Chain A
């Protein structure tokens, strides 16, 4: 262990490591900017639910801000942050330098260019059909696709130069995720099979795959690397991870139509989606069990390790959010919950409770290793608790409120009553959302300390490593 540490410290002056560190820094910093921006938009929208005439006008109207919020959290924040982490994990777990720093920089520029152009386009009313998560005009989505291709090329090149025999599990998930998402992006753009009801079926396919074949595998890739790293012990079962990889790959693409239950889509397509939504419990529970068993017996150390706290919440978010998704796919429950705010709670439980916490865990675990700078512990604690409590308030208020909304409709009360009944829950959602946003400000400060600012030197204890745990 001690020799590893010395090796690592001397390696810091190595130029390959400096390059890797600056790539991770830049990706994390720009992603953090998008997190701050997109969630500020989210808080503004939450406020408008209680005060609809606040800040009126075309450029600040709800219908334009909503896709800006979702697309920027997806493609600005989560995508850029996860790709930065994927680069670091690929190079470190392969004990190889980054294949091309230049490609990494080009990718970063393309990701950010797409997000800036997409935000401006949406605010001006150039919205590609309100089709969720593919609202950016298609030329802008081509820029994003170019960024994906660059990233895939660079990740594969890096892992191909590995000095280990095996390809570490994290790289299965990240390389797979980037390649599959290239296919999703192409399927979403080509127009020939997207007329009327045909487009509805493509929307179902797209909106679920963009989440489950992109953010999920990249976030899991972070877990599989950061968790062994933080705990200094290998993942509980490597083969369970491989099993979850293949089952996720086969089951996930089939469940998209569950977004359109009771719609005019063919009934067998809907039923197939429900069946495979249940099958998704296999990779979800298998993966979650793998992470939790890796942590087993080390929970008492959690209070001392902030990255571990974030990862733990991320794993629970993955388990609970995905399992909830399976239940929402049942026709009986969807009768109550579909179209209500319950689904907004669900998407925040997954994109926030799972993906975003996973990213934070990864950033806090890996960025200090890359730069040798630590944030101060008050900042870490504040970030963790505000984000956790805020998201609890957010998800619980919308889950309860959404259920009431659905029951109102079933009981046949006048529609406007379901709007009035939501008011207090929307206020609580705003409170939770504001707390979440404040935690992002603290996170931004922490990122600054770990990257370009003057942070505390990484302690030897924290940087102890089991390099490429599975290698």
Chain B
């Protein structure tokens, strides 16, 4: 009997000490991490959206932690302890079958896009394997006043009536759009040289810098796919009623590239393209992409899908950036 007590009791005692040391004590210490500057609690609707996120198991495919590694730069700045002060339950996640969402509210601020993507991800990203969350929407004959129907492409739209988001979808999208990293305090503003110097690929700007009259076509296409295709589509045709086409777009084909460069650097909202007004906002990319990357993207757009705009140089982008918004 004594031996049994020694083995069972002794090992349990050892384990209890280790559980307190490795589980409870770090838990107590880190639970008191103060919020970082600019980190705020969620609103009621956003918090409801977070609950939908948990109930749907979003974090089994989407992480919410940006590591201080080159390959994570596309997702934002490295996560800091203060970022998680209001995040219980924690949603850091362990798999990235889909992209990290830490900063998705800044990366993809378009409500229109978020609803289409949620209703059926393949409507905007053909290769996506994310489930469709159709049950968070309903089909009605006509949208009630004040509600904008989801601008679905024909293939995905119901045969009659329009699709409007239910409360769950509204809350979830409100939460996703709230996922924005506040900039590091005192740290240089996001468009500082450190970010401009290296694009999302982590390659130094000089390596990919386009020379006058030529550009890195493969890089341009990769950057376009990663950054622009979700809305403007790989075909450059955009999505009718939601995102404007770049194919045949006047600004893209204009001999003077100033407007084109300006839009990519600073974003756009509520613009009239070819007689249609697009309410969805386009985010500014000047804060996340280097001049070289932007030049590559612009040159790709100006030379694809039958477009024939004059190509731009790194210097032109830098000059336009220097003039400010």
Contact = CB atoms under 8 A, between A and B. Distances in A.
A binds B: yes
Interface of A: 48-50, 52-53, 56-58, 61-64, 66-67, 125-132, 156, 159-160, 166-167, 172, 175-176, 179-180, 183-184, 187, 192-203, 205-206, 209, 213, 245-246, 249-250, 253-254, 256, 259-260, 262-266, 269, 335, 339-341, 343-344, 409-417, 419-420
A156 B94 contact: no
B31 A205 contact: no
B14 A250 contact: yes
A40 B62 CA distance: 24
A64 B11 contact: no
Given A200-B84, A410-B71, A176 B11 contact: yes
Interface residues of B, number: 81
B57 A61 contact: yes
Nearest to A195: B31
A64 B26 CA distance: 30
A416 B94 contact: no
B135 A53 contact: no
Contacts of A129: 54, 88-91
Interface in B42-92: 54-61, 63, 65, 67-71, 74, 79-81, 83-92
Contacts of A202: 23-24, 26-27
B305 interface: no
A343 to B, nearest CB: 7
Given A180-B15, A187-B24, A66 B60 contact: yes
B81 A197 contact: yes
A199 B22 contact: no
Given A264-B80, A413-B222, 19 more contacts: A53-B120, A61-B133, A62-B60, A63-B56, A63-B60, A129-B89, A129-B91, A130-B93, A131-B90, A159-B4, A193-B24, A197-B81, A198-B26, A201-B23, A256-B22, A264-B81, A269-B26, A417-B225, A419-B97
B62 to A, nearest CB: 10
Contacts, number: 246
Given A63-B57, A130-B60, A184 B19 contact: yes
A49 B129 contact: yes
B143 interface: no
* Majority secondary structure, A binding face: helix
A134 B113 CA distance: 33
Contact of B19 (A52, A183, A266): A183
A64 B127 contact: no
Contacts of B63: 339
Contacts of A130: 54, 57-60, 89, 91, 93
B153 to A, nearest CB: 15
A130 B16 CA distance: 26
Given A67-B60, A176-B8, A262-B67, A253 B15 contact: yes
Interface of B: 1, 3-4, 7-8, 11-12, 14-16, 18-19, 22-24, 26-33, 54-61, 63, 65, 67-71, 74, 79-81, 83-99, 120-122, 125, 127-135, 199-203, 222, 225-226, 229
A201 B67 contact: no
B18 A250 contact: yes
B130 to A, nearest CB: 7
Contacts of B96: 339-340, 409
B94 A167 contact: no
A64 B221 CA distance: 36
Contact of B131 (A61, A199, A416): A61
Contacts of B87: 196
A335 B225 CA distance: 24
A201 B199 CA distance: 32
B127 A199 contact: no
